[in-house]
Every structure is written in structure tokens, then in C-alpha cells.
């Protein structure tokens, strides 16, 4: 009886240990699955947020927009009018793309920046990294857009919304020049503008725009 009892006991202990190990292993696998799901959800949400464009409408002709600015620069073949929120972090990427665009297009492209400005904003409203980056772009014209009214007329409700007008003031492209929120690098808008300015392309095109809402309409 004795040895048998011992044997049974040790078997029980072995089974118990095995059971505990299995249970621990199962818990670990379960935790790993939960961890993976959480990561998937988190990255998915982040991706969705980054890839969700802001509102943009087909713009009217340039004369309707009635951009008031000091046009001392020589007449260009194309004019890019861009509405920006000076405090939008995503627009910093737009500024770097704009700078790159100017480098590619040179004198063929004139730029007008409609800087969103609340009516009751403090004096330092425009002392931001976005404006500092914009100032590095050559031959750019800044227009103080109080409450974003001019941008709204242009159909731009999101920071970074750009419209490319040809010499006749007809909109040839509208949308953003970044691939995602605050994401510099190759993108569809950039390529479209470059092609239009260099006359490689004549079709009207549009691209999604990523940035903060200007708070002047749809958003």
C-alpha cells in the first residue's frame, strides 16, 4: 500500500504541477493576445486619425476669393493660395512640403498664405513654429485672415488646404500637400501641383488635406 500511495501522491503532484504550468502558460498566451489586440486597436486608431482628411470643398475662381495682398512680385504662371492655422502642429509638415515645392517650381509659382487669426487673438498669436517655417519659404505673401473668412470663401476649412490657380485665376488643384497628419514626404498633392505648374498635367485634381480645423465653417 505504502509505495502505491507514494506513487499516487507523486503522480498527483506531477499532474498538479503540470496543471499549474498549463494554467500559467494559458494565462500568458491570453495576456499576449490581449496585448496584441490592444496594440492593433491603438495603432489602428492612430492610423485612422492620421489618415482622416479634413473638410475641403471645390474652390471658386480666384476673383471670387478676393485675396487681398500686396502683389509686388512679378506675375507668375501659377498662384498657390494656402489657408493655415498658425498653431496646427500638422501644418509644420505642410510648410516643409511647401518649401520643397517652391524649390521645385521656382518662379513659376507664387504663394499666398491665408493665416487664420481669431478676432480677439493676442498679439503673439502668429509667433509660432508654423509661421517661422513659412517665413523660410522664399517669396511668400502672408495675409491675415480674420476668423478664416477668406479661407471659407475659398472652400478651405482645414489648415493646410491649398488651391492652385492658373494664370487665368481658375482653380487647377485643391487639397493638401501632405500624405497624412504632420507627415512630411512624398505625397499626391505635391506631385499634382508640381505636374500642373510644369505643364506636365492639365487636368484638375484634388487631394485630401490633413490638419486642424480652421473653425470657420464645416468643422
**Residues near other proteins (CB under 8 A):** 28, 31-32, 35, 38-39, 42-43, 45-47, 49-51, 85, 87-90, 92-93, 116, 118, 120-121, 147-148, 159, 179-180, 182-188, 190-191, 212-216, 219
On the CB side of 28, CA atoms within 13 Å amount to: 6
Closest separation in Å from C-beta 157 to other proteins: 10
Please say which residue, 12 or 28, places its beta carbon nearer to other proteins. Answer: 28
Please say which residue, 150 or 159, places its beta carbon nearer to other proteins. Answer: 159
Please say which residue, 43 or 200, places its beta carbon nearer to other proteins. Answer: 43
3-state secondary structure of 38: helix
Closest separation in Å from C-beta 99 to other proteins: 14
Q: How far apart are alpha carbons 150 and 64 in whole angstroms?
A: 10
Number of helices and strands in the chain (H, E): 6, 6
Please say which residue, 157 or 165, places its beta carbon nearer to other proteins. Answer: 157
Closest separation in Å from C-beta 71 to other proteins: 28
Query: C-alpha grid cell for residue 66?
Result: 478676393
3-state secondary structure of 72: coil
Closest separation in Å from C-beta 80 to other proteins: 19
Please say which residue, 90 or 164, places its beta carbon nearer to other proteins. Answer: 90
Closest separation in Å from C-beta 140 to other proteins: 21
Burial of 209 (0-12, 13-18, 19+ CB in 10 A): buried
Task: Give the β-pairing of 171-175 and 161-165.
Answer: antiparallel
Closest separation in Å from C-beta 179 to other proteins: 5
Please say which residue, 45 or 64, places its beta carbon nearer to other proteins. Answer: 45
Please answer whether residues 84 and 112 qualify as being in contact, where contact means their C-beta atoms are separated by less than 8 angstroms.
no
Largest CA-CA distance found in the chain, in angstroms, rounded = 109
Query: C-alpha grid cell for residue 7?
Result: 506513487
Query: C-alpha grid cell for residue 137?
Result: 519659404
Amino acid at each position: 500500500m505504502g509505495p502505491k500511495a507514494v506513487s499516487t501522491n507523486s503522480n498527483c503532484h506531477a499532474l498538479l504541477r503540470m496543471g499549474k504550468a498549463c494554467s500559467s502558460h494559458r494565462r500568458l498566451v491570453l495576456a499576449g493576445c490581449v496585448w496584441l489586440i490592444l496594440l492593433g486597436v491603438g495603432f489602428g486608431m492612430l492610423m485612422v486619425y492620421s489618415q482622416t482628411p479634413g473638410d475641403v470643398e471645390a474652390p471658386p475662381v480666384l476673383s471670387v476669393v478676393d485675396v487681398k495682398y500686396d502683389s509686388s512680385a512679378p506675375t507668375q504662371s501659377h498662384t498657390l493660395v494656402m489657408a493655415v492655422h498658425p498653431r496646427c502642429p500638422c501644418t509644420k509638415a505642410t510648410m516643409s512640403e511647401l518649401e520643397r515645392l517652391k524649390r521645385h517650381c521656382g518662379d513659376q509659382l507664387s504663394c499666398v498664405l491665408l493665416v487664420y487669426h481669431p478676432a480677439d487673438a493676442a498679439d503673439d498669436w502668429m509667433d509660432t513654429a508654423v509661421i517661422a517655417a513659412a517665413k523660410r519659404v522664399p517669396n511668400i505673401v502672408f495675409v491675415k485672415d480674420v476668423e478664416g473668412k477668406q479661407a471659407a470663401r475659398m472652400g478651405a476649412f482645414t489648415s493646410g488646404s491649398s488651391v492652385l490657380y492658373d494664370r487665368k485665376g481658375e482653380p487647377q488643384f485643391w487639397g493638401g500637400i501632405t500624405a497624412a497628419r504632420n507627415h512630411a514626404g512624398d505625397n499626391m498633392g505635391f506631385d499634382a501641383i508640381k505636374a500642373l505648374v510644369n505643364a506636365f498635367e492639365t487636368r484638375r485634381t484634388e487631394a485630401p488635406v490633413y490638419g486642424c480645423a480652421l473653425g470657420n465653417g464645416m468643422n
